[in-house]
Amino acid sequence: MAVADTIMKFHPTIRLHGRWHRTNSAIITSHNVFSDVASRLCVAALPKACSRHNCPAQPHAITDALKSNKGRGDLSVILLLAHPSHAAAAGCAVARAFPRYALKRERAAAANVDVYMGCDDTEALRQIGLIAEGIQTCAELVDTPCNILNVPEYVRRVQELVSGLPNVTIRVISGEDLEKEGLRGIYGVGKAAVGPPAMVVLSYTLPGGAVGKPVVWVGKGIVYDTGGLSIKSKDGMPGMKTDMGGSAAVLCAFVAAVKRGGLNRPLSAILCMAENSVSAAATRPDDIHVMYSGKTVEINNTDAEGRLVLADGVAWAAKQLQPAVIVDMATLTGAQGVATGHRHAAMYCNNEKLEAAAQARRQCGDLTFPVPYAPEFFAAEFASAVADMKNSVACRSNAQVSCAAQFIGNHLEPFFEAGGAWLHIDMAAPSHQGPRATGYGVALLCQLLDELPAAGL
Ligand SMILES: [Zn+2]
């Protein structure tokens, strides 16, 4: 009997509702609160202190309170918001507390989660619901191990998720076609795996044709990262199924953004998928790849693979789609957690207004903080005697998050010359909390999209 037949797969459904009760400044979670006899009641108050780099709605505290509730059966959550503007962050925080993926035989804690928001705006509730659904789907993909979610299966799930979306096209470039297209960064990382690498391009076009320059999101989709021939240690490798978290966020944000409706410009999502594996076909240290940008890269560390797939993704986006804005999202460096912590993703951005818009979006609960943007200080780290650059830095204590990002930026020169705005988001640490994915990035990308016109982008 197949493993999948013997277990009970658990899908908690988050349902958002309007006003139920009127009071303020606390969240109350209760089991069976609407049945005649309430079997359990759990009350949680949010912390009083909330610093200026945190989200005012304190979604982390909502998620933590709900995760600590160990009851079984359906669950009702009543969110008593201190301010109506907290609705999106609070609703998303509930979604983060209920990861879907498990292959456990035992029944999970809750079947359905009803959330009462104290909000009369049904359209706002619908939009929050779509983002919450995206957060859960994203976390489900990230939590799924690579023996189930390899690249071909990931491509299939993408096709399933976008099928039926209006005005959306999908293009899949996979295996040796990547090499023919010049996408040798992605091909070089993924060619050793049994499942061939792929770049998936999702594009939304306006029904009446293009209006304005597109926004393009690019996500790192390493379905497993062994490190390649520069192999990780036995303690460093577990958890590397999550190295596709950036692409999962980009995918689920794209689906939510299209389902929300009201898009007034073209939007594309590019998912750079590969399994960084080991075989006789694996890329070796010392190999040189000619990237999509035309630049050459001497590989000195096969475990610095995310930047290779992203460099191809952003360069392809810039040339083929002529966007005004490129945002890439990736679990790129362990250094990110050291630099900006487990809650804030690190941002590296060539455009002050775009950076400010992204940081302001902490209101959605996906926190960010900038790292220095100064390419002239970082170029020397990648100096190579035989190629345009190496793929890994000489000095690991020199602004490592910025340097890793700048490697990607090195492949965007024509885009920068044309005035393009680029934001790189390294979300290696906030993409998970303990052993569970958080769905980080879905809310941030959706809300940042709404901010771009005000930022002049
Ligand atoms: Zn790696």
Question: pLDDT digit string (tens) for 169-186?
Answer: 999 999 999 999 999 999
Task: Please write the tens of the pLDDT for every residue from 202-228.
Answer: 999 998 876 789 999 999 999 999 999
CA within 13 Å, CB half, 19: 8
Burial class (CB in 10 A: 0-12, 13-18, 19+), 376: exposed
- Residue 318: how many other CB atoms lie within 10 Å: 24
pLDDT for the residue numbered 67: 86
pLDDT for the residue numbered 118: 75
Distance of CA 3 to the CA centre of its chain: 29
The larger pLDDT score, comparing residue 323 to residue 36, is at 323
Banded pLDDT at 48 (limits 50, 70, 90): confident
Banded pLDDT at 42 (limits 50, 70, 90): low
Banded pLDDT at 1 (limits 50, 70, 90): very low
Backbone CA torsion sign across 278, 279, 285, 289: negative
Q: In angstroms, what is the span from residue 351 Cα to ligand 1's centroid?
A: 28
Tell me the average pLDDT of the chain.
Answer: 89
Task: Please write the tens of the pLDDT for every residue from 245-258.
Answer: 999 999 999 999 99
CATH number of 141-455: 3.40.630.10
Strand 168-174 vs strand 198-204: parallel, antiparallel, or unpaired? antiparallel
pLDDT for the residue numbered 100: 87
Task: Please write the tens of the pLDDT for every residue from 384-403.
Answer: 999 999 999 999 899 999 99
Q: In angstroms, what is the span from residue 306 Cα to ligand 1's centroid?
A: 6
pLDDT reading at 29 higher than 60: no
pLDDT reading at 18 higher than 90: no
For residue 362 the two structure tokens come to 């902490």
pLDDT for the residue numbered 111: 65
Please give the average per-residue pLDDT across 3-20, as a whole number: 53
pLDDT for the residue numbered 44: 72
Q: In angstroms, what is the span from residue 161 Cα to ligand 1's centroid?
A: 27
pLDDT reading at 36 higher than 60: no
232 part of the active site: yes
Please give the average per-residue pLDDT across 114-135, as a whole number: 88
Where in the chain are all domains bearing CATH 3.40.630.10?
141-455
The larger pLDDT score, comparing residue 83 to residue 209, is at 83
Percent share of the chain, pLDDT over 90? 73
pLDDT reading at 370 higher than 60: yes
Gap between the Cα atoms of 431 and 341, Å rounded = 12
Q: Which residue has the tokens 């990002």?
A: 405
pLDDT reading at 6 higher than 50: no
pLDDT reading at 240 higher than 70: yes
CB 288 within 8 A of CB 299: yes
Gap between the Cα atoms of 239 and 432, Å rounded = 10
pLDDT for the residue numbered 310: 98
Among 29-33, 250-254, 309-313, 387-391, the minimum mean pLDDT is found in 29-33
Gap between the Cα atoms of 198 and 275, Å rounded = 10
pLDDT for the residue numbered 24: 33
126 part of the active site: no
Q: In angstroms, what is the span from residue 185 Cα to ligand 1's centroid?
A: 14
Residue among 100, 191, 241, 307 flagged as catalytic? 307
Q: In angstroms, what is the span from residue 435 Cα to ligand 1's centroid?
A: 19
Question: Side chain identity at 387, as an amino acid letter?
Answer: A
Residue among 157, 232, 353, 436 flagged as catalytic? 232
Q: In angstroms, what is the span from residue 413 Cα to ligand 1's centroid?
A: 25
Q: In angstroms, what is the span from residue 305 Cα to ligand 1's centroid?
A: 5
pLDDT for the residue numbered 208: 82
pLDDT for the residue numbered 82: 84
Q: In angstroms, what is the span from residue 344 Cα to ligand 1's centroid?
A: 21
Q: In angstroms, what is the span from residue 136 Cα to ligand 1's centroid?
A: 25
